[in-house]
Structure 1
Amino acid sequence: MLIRPARLRDAADLPAIEKSAAQLYGSAADLAWLADGPLIAQAEHESRILQQSVWVAEADNGILTGFISTEIFGTELHLWELSVHADWQRRGIATLLIDSAYRHAITQGLSALTLTTFSDLAWCAPAYAKRGFEQLPQPGPRLQDTLDAEALHGLPPERRIAMRLPVARVTAPR
C-alpha cells in the first residue's frame, strides 16, 4: 500500500471513499443517518490538497483506498477526516495514514495531533487510544468550537470527545 500526498485529481475520488467508510455508522445506535450524511465537498478537499495536508492510500492497481485530511492550527495538526473504503478496512490502512500525518507533524515542528470523535464506537476513540491519543477533559477553545459546531450539525454532544497525541521530538544523532 502506497501512502502519498494527495494530488488535485484525487479530490474527485475522495467523497466516494468517505461515503463507503460512513456505512459503518449504519449499525450504530442513533447514528445510522450518518451513513447517508453530508460529505466533504470536493472544493474543500482541493483546498486542503493545495495546502499539502491530505494523504491518500493507493493500492498496487492505482485504486485509492483511503485518505486523511488535516489542517495546521498553531502548533497542532488537526485530523478532520480519516476514511478507508469499506472494501479495504481492517488492513492497517488507517494506521498508515495516521503515521503519515504524524511524520508530517514532526517535519513541521508541530507539538501534537488532535481530533474529535465518538467516545463509544470501537473504530473511533478506542481505536485512537490504542495509537496513543488521549481524551482531553477540557479541550480548549479551538477544539470546543469544533465540538460545538458538530453538535449544531446533529452529532450528539454527549458522545463526542476531543483527543490529542503529543508529537515526540526527533533529534539528529550527534
Structure 2
Amino acid sequence: MLIRPARLTDAADLPAIEKSAAQLYSGAAGLAWLADGPLIAQAAHESRILQQSVWVAETDEGVLTGFISTEIVDTELHIWELSVHMDWQRRGIGGLLMASAYQHALAQGLSALTLTTFSDVAWCAPAYARLGFQQLLQPGQRLQETLDAEALHGLPPGRRIAMRLPMGMFTQRH
C-alpha cells in the first residue's frame, strides 16, 4: 500500500471513500443516520489538497482505498477526516495514514495532532488512544468551537470529545 500526498485529481474519489467508510455507523447505536450523512464537499478536499495536507492510500493497481484530511492550525495539525473504504478496513491503512500525518507534523515542527471523535465507538476514541492520543478534558477554544459546530450539525455532544497527540508520543500498531 502506497501512502502519498493527494493530487487534485484524487479529490473526486474521496467522497466515495468517506461514504463507504461511514457505513460502519449503520450498526452503531444512535448513529445509523451517519451512514447516509453529509460528506466533505469535493471543493473542500481540493482546498486542503492545495494546502498539501491530504494523504491517500493507493494500491499497486492505482485504486484509492483511504485518505486523511488535515489542516495546520497554529502549532498543531488538526485531523478533519480519516476514512478507509469498507472493503479495505482492518488492514492497518488508517494507521499508515495517521503515521503520514504525524511525520508531516514532525517535519513542520508542530507540537501535536488534534482531532474530535466519538468517545464510545470502538473505531474512534479507543482506537486513537491506542496510537497515543489523549482525551482533552478542557479542549480549549479552538477545539471547543469545533465540538460546538459538530453539535449544530446533529452530532450528539455528550458522545463527542477532543483528543490530542503530542509530538513524540505516537505509537504505531501493526
TM over 0.5: yes
RMSD of equivalent CA atoms: 0.8
Alignment match, 2:151 = 151
Alignment match, 1:102 = 102
CA deviation string 1:18-68 (max 9, x = no partner):
000000000011110000000000000000000000000001110000000
Partners of 1:140 and 1:119 in 2: CA distance: 17
Read off the aligned partner of 1:72 and give its amino acid letter.
Answer: I
Alignment match, 1:43 = 43
Residue 168 of structure 1 deviates from its aligned partner by 2.3
Partners of 1:128 and 1:93 in 2: CA distance: 14
Alignment match, 1:120 = 120
Residue 158 of structure 1 deviates from its aligned partner by 0.2
Residue 107 of structure 1 deviates from its aligned partner by 0.6
* TM-score, structure 1 normalization: 0.96
Verify: 1:168 aligned to 2:168, yes or no. Answer: yes
Partners of 1:10 and 1:118 in 2: CA distance: 27
Read off the aligned partner of 1:100 and give its amino acid letter.
Answer: S
SS in 1 for 2:91: coil
SS in 1 for 2:101: helix
Alignment match, 1:89 = 89
Partners of 2:121 and 2:29 in 1: CA distance: 10
SS in 1 for 2:90: coil
Read off the aligned partner of 2:103 and give its amino acid letter.
Answer: R
Read off the aligned partner of 2:132 and give its amino acid letter.
Answer: G
Q: What stretches of structure 1 move > 4 A for 4+ residues in a row?
A: none
Verify: 1:135 aligned to 2:126, yes or no. Answer: no
Identity of aligned residues (%): 82
Read off the aligned partner of 2:17 and give its amino acid letter.
Answer: I
Partners of 1:167 and 1:66 in 2: CA distance: 24
Partners of 1:146 and 1:76 in 2: CA distance: 14
Partners of 1:91 and 1:41 in 2: CA distance: 27
Verify: 1:61 aligned to 2:61, yes or no. Answer: yes
Partners of 1:60 and 1:89 in 2: CA distance: 17
SS in 2 for 1:71: strand
Structure 2 spans left out of the alignment, 5+ residues: 170-174
Partners of 1:168 and 1:95 in 2: CA distance: 16
Question: Number of matched residues?
Answer: 169
Structure 1 spans left out of the alignment, 5+ residues: 170-174
* TM-score, structure 2 normalization: 0.96
Read off the aligned partner of 1:28 and give its amino acid letter.
Answer: A
